[in-house]
Structure 1
Amino acid sequence: MTSISQSFQSLRNRNQCALIPFITAGDPDLGTTKEALQILDCNGADFIELGIPYSDPLADGPMIQAAATRALQKGTKLEAVLEMVTDVTPSLEAPVILFTYYNPILYRGVKSFLGQLANAGVQGLVVPDLPLEEAEELINTAAEFGIEVILLVTPTSSKQRIEAITRSSQGFIYLVSVTGVTGMRSQLQDHVKTLLLEMRNVTDKPIGVGFGISGAEQARQIRDWGADAVIVGSAFVQRLADDRPNAGLQAIEKLCQEIKAAITPASLLTVGSV
């Protein structure tokens, strides 16, 4: 199984910016989530971020919070999510990155939780409420299971903190493009470009930019600013939330194709890579 780091190296060798769509597990239901993972995998996703619904999602904007609430109201449990992931990962080329808050990890025990993830075929982990100072145990234990823990840099992170985060983050570094929660924005802030340049001075690890990217044009701008990946969440979650599951699946298929085409060099598009 190819690791996240190895996949990024392959993408860099082709001068290809990665697409990382995010969806919430269990919204509208786990059967649709499974189909969505397969559709995203077949339509340009290089990695897929799968959010575990949580009752107090501090980093998530209204769209993803609402999706998590709907999933929880329908009884979505972590064990059922991992059972679905176990079933689908053998058919996926895109590595699955799990997005979860720390409390479910703490409740189950770090080693037990990571063992469950590894058995399900999960290759990456994002824990937005785990501070760097408390991440060492999770990072080291995850490495034993072949799981890469991805840490977040925010616009308010100091230079010293950015350097520390980039040293510890595995797979890639998740650059949060806005101060605040996830959600679609009409414009990207110029400070993202500045942050990318600053981070390039302290690390050669891949950098993915997320929060606030709503479509193809913004994704292309992020790529042009030098990001190794664009992470798009609320736009996919919104489309998948359609009351008609088939319509939602068709909508995320179209969006995935559009964003992938926008960030793919013309030389690769001509040979049908998307």
Structure 2
Amino acid sequence: MNCMRVSLANKKLSGDKVLVAYYPLCDPAIGDAVDAAGMYLDAGADVLEMGIPYADPCLDGATVRASMERALAQHAPEDAWDDIARIRSAYPAANLQVMCYGDIISGMGVDAFAARVAESGANAVLSPDYPDANRDELDEKLAAYDMLSLKFVPYNLDAVDIESLRPYDDGYLFMQAVDGATGARSEVDPHVGDNISALKRAGFKSNLCAGFGVSSASDARELVTLGADGVIVGSAIISAALEGRMAEFIASLRAALDSFGTA
């Protein structure tokens, strides 16, 4: 049984809020993979969203781009898979998710990619730019290894998008909270609340988690008041890590989400 599917379903049932924390694999500024993963998990991350470094991260802002540049300057992409395996060995019960760009999947081939993810010990995959025309094959291969195929919910959500998301109502859905790339923002865009409400009216039952632009504990609280079941935080965690306050910052996000208690 996929531990991530079970734990996130339990989160939804209990009303506890989900913290998905982006971890940039192979970035030397973050430190050893196992040590860093332990800091994330101990500070309260529910899901470790592990980013595979890529040369053209088109959906990401300057912070994540710089992180991937640092990673690729010292590591081959294969090192990322080895780090995931090390994290899994150290933390057998952790929820480990791969985040990667579609070219990585296409370059490896779907069969080889799914097998490599499974071999590394990850529970789920999110590839926001992977072509929808090829997604059925990817979903099938991941399902064969009992892995979740997660879906990115666009900022400009429409009725067609909603219907296309129904097969992915499992674990969590990644709600794009701003109209643009990743990176810290000065305020929360309330439009994500409209998208969350639309999915809930349509009967979606999984955790609806808002990401892109979440830069503080107050942002996390505001997004939950807009209806989010949790948040996804990346750039702000990397920035905190560079300033030597990563664990403290993740713990502040955890405390903000826990302040809502259970349903």
Segment of structure 1 superposing worse, 112-121 or 28-37: 28-37
Corresponding position of 1:119: 119
Which SS does the other structure have where 2:23 is aligned? Answer: strand
Indicate how the Cα distance of structure 1 residues 213 and 29 shifts in structure 2: closer, same or farther if over 3 A, else same.
closer
Contact kept? 2:21, 2:233, Cα under 8 Å: yes
Which SS does the other structure have where 2:32 is aligned? Answer: helix
Pairwise CA distance, 1:266: 6.3
- How high is the TM-score relative to the length of structure 2? 0.92
Pairwise CA distance, 1:240: 2.3
Per-residue CA distance 1:159-215 (angstroms, 9 max, x = gap):
221221233454221110111110111111111111110111121222111001001
Corresponding position of 1:271: none
Which SS does the other structure have where 1:50 is aligned? Answer: strand
Provide the C-alpha distance between the structure 1 equivalents of 2:136 and 2:58, rounded to a whole number of angstroms.
Answer: 22
Letter of the 2:199 counterpart: M
Letter of the 2:217 counterpart: A
Pairwise CA distance, 1:239: 2.1
Contact kept? 1:127, 1:151, Cα under 8 Å: yes
Contact kept? 2:33, 2:87, Cα under 8 Å: no
Corresponding position of 2:80: 81
Q: CA RMSD in A?
A: 1.8
Indicate how the Cα distance of structure 1 residues 14 and 157 shifts in structure 2: closer, same or farther if over 3 A, else same.
closer
Give the fraction of aligned pairs with identical amino acids, expressed as a percent.
26
Letter of the 1:14 counterpart: S
Letter of the 1:89 counterpart: R
Corresponding position of 2:132: 132
Contact kept? 1:154, 1:178, Cα under 8 Å: no
Which SS does the other structure have where 2:98 is aligned? Answer: strand
Provide the C-alpha distance between the structure 1 equivalents of 2:230 and 2:4, rounded to a whole number of angstroms.
Answer: 12
Pairwise CA distance, 1:129: 1.0
Letter of the 2:124 counterpart: G
Letter of the 1:77 counterpart: A
Corresponding position of 2:235: 234
Unaligned runs of 5+ in 2: none
Of 228, 231, 256, the match for 2:250: 256
- How high is the TM-score relative to the length of structure 1? 0.89
Corresponding position of 1:151: 151
Contact kept? 1:177, 1:189, Cα under 8 Å: yes
